[in-house]
């Protein structure tokens, strides 16, 4: 294990061995920040699910009330009037089959999210390998395969994030920046955790959430007490 820097060790000393209320954790995270750059703020939720069973897969999307602090470039693949709708909603790139061809021939990936209308998925399906390996393949479950292009683009621009449990039963998600006000970090954290709680598999017995931690890019993790959200 590599030796931690002095700033990390000093920050670690500020964190008590207990669970913090969400607002308290957010305030502490800002206090212990030592780096000069604007770090990402992340939430990690360890669940008692086994993702290898489809009925225990936890995933979903949620719009964070205070955004993510990141500007996402949105590509919409659609036809006809839906292209106009996408442009008016603020999509960065809009097109149809010619966009699919561009991605195939040029390995073009200058975007962060891809939205497709259902009628274009036959063409988009040819991009399965190219987009899938980068986590960009549109999916109905993530709300990126839809005829409601306007709302999809708007939500992503405002701060919609997708969460999905990994093989080890953990959900990791970025919820903002350390430059955010503490109450905004707390508000985004509550919204994400609340969405994860609502996504509990109906077949799961016993305890669902094992632990929740808040951290930034360079900081130690702060354990969160989510009892206020579970009640």
Write down the CATH superfamily of domain 74-157.
Ribosomal protein L1/L10, domain II (3.40.50.790)
Judge whether residue 147 has pLDDT over 50: yes
CA–CA dist 128, 136 (Å, integer): 9
Judge whether residue 176 has pLDDT over 60: yes
Mean pLDDT of 187-215: 95
- What is the structure's pLDDT at 1? 44
SS3 208: coil
- What is the structure's pLDDT at 172? 96
Handedness of CA 91, 179, 63, 173 (dihedral sign): positive
Mean pLDDT of 11-24: 94
Q: CATH for 17-68+160-230, among 3.30.190.20, 3.40.50.150, 3.40.50.11540, 3.30.420.40?
A: 3.30.190.20
8 A C-beta contact, residue 209 and residue 47: yes
**Could you read off the pLDDT of 64-99 as tens digits, one per residue?**
999 999 889 999 999 999 999 999 999 999 999 999
**Could you read off the pLDDT of 109-132 as tens digits, one per residue?**
999 999 999 999 999 999 999 999
Domain boundaries, the chain: 17-68+160-230, 74-157
CA–CA dist 55, 40 (Å, integer): 32
Judge whether residue 3 has pLDDT over 80: no
CA–CA dist 103, 109 (Å, integer): 7
* % of the chain surpassing 70 pLDDT: 98
Judge whether residue 47 has pLDDT over 80: yes
Is 17-68+160-230's fold the same as 74-157's?
Answer: no
């Amino acid at each position: 294990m590599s030796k931690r820097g002095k700033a990390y060790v000093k920050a670690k000393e500020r964190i008590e061995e207990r669970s913090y209320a969400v607002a308290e954790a957010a305030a502490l995270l800002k206090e212990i920040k030592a780096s000069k750059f604007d770090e990402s703020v992340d939430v990690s939720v360890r669940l008692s699910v086994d993702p290898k069973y489809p009925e225990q897969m936890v995933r979903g999307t949620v719009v964070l009330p205070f955004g993510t602090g990141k500007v996402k470039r949105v590509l919409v693949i659609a036809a006809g009037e839906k292209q106009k709708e996408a442009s008016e909603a603020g999509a960065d790139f809009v097109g149809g089959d010619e966009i699919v061809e561009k991605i195939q021939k040029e390995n073009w990936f200058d975007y962060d999210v891809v939205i497709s209308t259902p009628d274009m998925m036959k063409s988009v399906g040819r991009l399965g390998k190219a987009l899938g390996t980068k986590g960009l393949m549109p999916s109905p479950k993530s709300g990126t395969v839809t005829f409601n292009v306007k709302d999809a683009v708007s939500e992503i621009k405002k701060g919609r994030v997708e969460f999905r449990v990994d093989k080890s039963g953990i959900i990791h998600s970025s919820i903002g920046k350390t430059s955010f006000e503490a109450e905004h970090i707390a508000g985004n954290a509550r919204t994400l955790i609340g969405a994860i709680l609502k996504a509990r598999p109906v077949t799961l017995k016993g305890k669902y959430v094992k632990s929740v931690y808040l951290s930034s890019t360079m900081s130690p993790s702060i354990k969160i007490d989510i009892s206020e959200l579970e009640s």
